[in-house]
Amino acid sequence: MKTIFLTNLAVLALILSPLAVAEPVGITPEMFSVDVVHKGKTVKIQRHQDNENTIIADYALTSRPCPRFCIRPMKLAPGVETIGELEMLDYLVEAGKPGSKVLVIDSRTPDWVAKGTIPGSVNIPWTLLKEDTSDPLTIAGILEERFGARDEDGLWNYSEVKTVVLYCNGMWCGQSPRNIMTLLKYGYPADKIKWYRGGMQNWTALGLTTVK
């Protein structure tokens, strides 16, 4: 009987131990989660609540070959703002409002998007906005139909365009940077372009919600 009693005490101690209970994982001390709209439905973005959670294998490689997967600068181009996760959350919330002038863009190809994307973003594959893999009509269509630019007698009017927030796989990924350079070449206002440099690499490393 004594042995059983001690065993029960040990189990109770384990249950009450701080190591046995996952501590809550907020985004900031004041913010636990954020609701955004993704494909017409509300999605709650928060960090993974398992204190032992680790980054998934797709983003675990540290030494992708450069050239190709080279580290991108913090400042991509004059006037283009580089943002972090908290700013990204603000833009995601704004993008889901009726008549929003914000568009958050996952620039990756559909095979990557199928593995998981940031809720509230839309997929415009980088190949459609890259001149040597697309064509002027396709790019013009995106500028007009998705971004709100107007073609006026062969000149682009950007006075009513959306603020576009682009991201891809992370600080080593060149997809969204190339799209940003194409937009600048077409005269898109730099102050209407935001770049989430950390991309999916940082998003998943912080345990933030993704959707498929």
For residue 40, report the phi and psi dihedrals to the nearest 5 degrees: 85, 0
Q: pLDDT tens-digit profile of 108-119?
A: 999 999 999 999
Query: Which pLDDT score, from 0 to 100, does residue 132 have?
Result: 92
Q: pLDDT tens-digit profile of 40-60?
A: 999 999 999 999 999 999 999
Q: Which residues of the chain have pLDDT under 50?
A: 1-20
Q: How far, in Å, CA of 206 to CA of 47, rounded?
A: 7
Q: Which fold has domain 24-205?
A: Oxidized Rhodanese; domain 1 (3.40.250)
Q: How far, in Å, CA of 166 to CA of 160, rounded?
A: 18
Query: Which pLDDT score, from 0 to 100, does residue 8 have?
Result: 47
Give the residue extent of every domain in the chain. 24-205
pTM over 0.95: no
